[in-house]
Homo-oligomer: A and B are copies of this chain.
């Protein structure tokens, strides 16, 4: 599912590499990945995807099949392909740990490596970090909107391809979700799995009651009935009627799921029916067009819903389906560099982000400065790979999830809401401003 084929890259990486090798431009380059501007409706972002980036870098090597194809394409010189065949990643990586809250212009990843290596990996590094950061940031909003509810990722079918489905499960779990419906996310990442039945299951049976009974007998440990196929309240009534005979066979009805209509109103009616039918412990789970906005609305109505399947809108980050992120050269051969294109200028040099906290433990301001500057606050970027090898052991997903929780807990309250808040202060240090001026003076 995560193939890490080197040719999953932009053609220009290869044409540039051919030139770098010919010119022997193989000095150390420093690239940083950052988001230029937060999208609308995002007061903060949550860094994610680093583990997959490190795995990609550790394994970086073209396959024979890829090399053969490149040779046959006639696009490149054979001397270049020989160099390419031998290429691996030998550099260092500094990064914010996954689950770190960050803001515009702050580097979340820094690559320090011989220029061709650092260049070649650009496209896939962006691709990996962009997506999981996008989804973790979106999922965190649901977690903040419904902190006491069981939230489950249901989005794989409309995620953009298989890797997106798999990694959306990882990113949302890291951000605080309870689990996912995506089976291979359990297999690959140990993420708890949730799921019961679809409407087709009900429709294929003679009637709803038969469908419920058969499902319970086949899956006695995981009995959650989908009750909205024909009429939600009638479905709940059938659940109540079926309960005694299942109980007699030792089967408890764990929950019911609603998937259409006015979820809050249906939940209230269903809760009444279940309670009056002696099923006070049977939970109500809701799905269908759920996102943080819908969660906020349902919670404000005190809808008696215990858990939610959050699907398409999260897995596609529907209200902000991409981040304006970039991976830019900040230093080459010991000299700071800077892009000055209109509206896309970057801060030069190797950078670090320092974070200050207030007396209550909330993050209060960040400073963007040079990596070798002394600065007040906690530095956010750490060395995670040295000479192409990850500093073992990489933290478990559970550890990252706890860290992300702490990060969200230390968010200033003003930034936790779904609406736009005043921008969090990120100061640019004087050293950095001075360096930018000096770099510009060299490139007049």
Contact = CB atoms under 8 A, between A and B. Distances in A.
A156 B260 contact: no
A421 interface: no
B161 A9 contact: no
Given A321-B316, A337-B204, A219 B15 contact: yes
A148 interface: no
Given A115-B204, A200-B31, A130 B156 contact: no
A198 B69 contact: no
A10 B157 contact: yes
A110 interface: no
Nearest to A440: B230
A204 B336 CA distance: 10
A75 interface: yes
A234 to B, nearest CB: 10
A8 B1 contact: yes
A328 interface: yes
A303 to B, nearest CB: 16
A193 B11 CA distance: 7
A339 B12 CA distance: 50
A193 B74 CA distance: 12
Interface in A9-58: 9-16, 18-19, 22-23, 25, 29, 31
Interface string A386-419: 0000000000000000000000000000000000
Interface string A129-166: 01100100000000000000000001011111111111
Interface in A249-267: 259-261
Contacts of A3: 1, 3, 162
B316 A8 contact: no
Interface string A184-210: 101100000111111111011101000
Contact of A11 (B29, B159, B194, B321): B194
A184 B22 contact: no
A2 interface: yes
B325 A321 contact: no
A358 interface: no
B156 A8 contact: yes
Contacts of A187: 7, 66, 69
A329 interface: yes
A201 to B, nearest CB: 5
Count copies of this chain in the complex: 2
Contacts of A317: 321
A340 interface: yes
A217 B23 CA distance: 10
B218 A22 contact: yes
Interface in A308-329: 312-313, 316-318, 321-323, 325, 328-329
A172 interface: no
A78 interface: no
Contact of A10 (B134, B182, B219): B182
Interface in A216-268: 217-219, 222, 228-230, 259-261
A323 B158 contact: yes
Contacts of A230: 340-341, 443
Contact of A184 (B5, B131, B312, B318): B5
Contacts of A219: 15, 18-19
A323 B312 CA distance: 9
Closest CB pairs A-B (n = 4): A11-B195, A161-B163, A19-B218, A160-B160
Interface of A: 1-3, 5, 7-16, 18-19, 22-23, 25, 29, 31, 66, 69, 73, 75, 115, 119, 122-124, 126-127, 130-131, 134, 154, 156-167, 181-184, 186-187, 193-201, 203-205, 207, 214-215, 217-219, 222, 228-230, 259-261, 312-313, 316-318, 321-323, 325, 328-329, 332-333, 337-344, 443
7 contacts: A7-B187, A9-B183, A11-B195, A204-B337, A230-B443, A259-B341, A312-B322
